[in-house]
Amino acid sequence: MFTDQAHAATLDLWTASKQHPFITQLCAGTLPRETFRYYLIQDHYYLQEFGKLHDLAAEQSHDPRVAQQLHAGAEHLRQGEIAVRQTFFERLGITPDEIAATPVAPSGYAYTSHLYRALATAGTAGAVAGLLPCYWLYAEIGQELAHAGSPVPIYQDWLNTYDADDYTGMMADQLELANHVATPNNQAELLEIFKKSSWYELHFWQMALDHETWDIPAKLSDFSAEK
């Protein structure tokens, strides 16, 4: 199946994600609170586009089953994960003004741009393949790490989100959907899209850890000044 091949092809990337300092510090309780706040704001931007892509991909599909599942996925995001994020914002004092004043980071912008490109170039199947790593990787992180836990309550609650039955059930539906839209003719293209999304998932953690901005890096700034 497509999902078996895709998982095997990205095992190194997924292992690196699970062992990334953002995740290990979150589980140890040492992740700075400001870093988690920054991550949540960037994830808010990502999830908004993630939901829109479900609806856009559904509208382009000629398969009623696929369209129905994608629209349902978008609604589940709005009622589930995005709604849960709002409770995290309230607990951390993240205000709408703070969100508005925080630009989308370069890596987050690149990731969502990749997803829109997947839809534009490979249609609904491309969007399904591009969206899948986010569902699947987070489910694995939740299943593997939620029981070990974090001493920080809000970090533990974040882990629990991805070990909940409703989330893992939705993820299983996405696996089935990906296998449904994959064909011998598009499987190679979908695999490349899946790999790129997995790469961006890894770099999303680093983006959060670095509090990534659009500023010119110091070394490049010095070079520009010399010229």
Catalytic residues: 134, 201
Helix (H, G, I), strand (E, B) or coil at 163: coil
Alpha carbon distance 110, 58 (integer Å): 22
Amino acid at site 174: Q
- Radius of gyration of the chain, Cα coordinates, nearest whole angstrom: 18
| Phi and psi torsions of 70, nearest 5° | -70, -40
DSSP 13-68: HHHHHHTSHHHHHHHHT-S-HHHHHHHHHHHHHHHHHHHHHHHHHHHH-S-HHHHH
Please give the DSSP secondary-structure letter assigned to residue 104.
P
Show the DSSP H helices in 102-164 as ranges.
106-145, 153-161
Alpha carbon distance 102, 206 (integer Å): 17
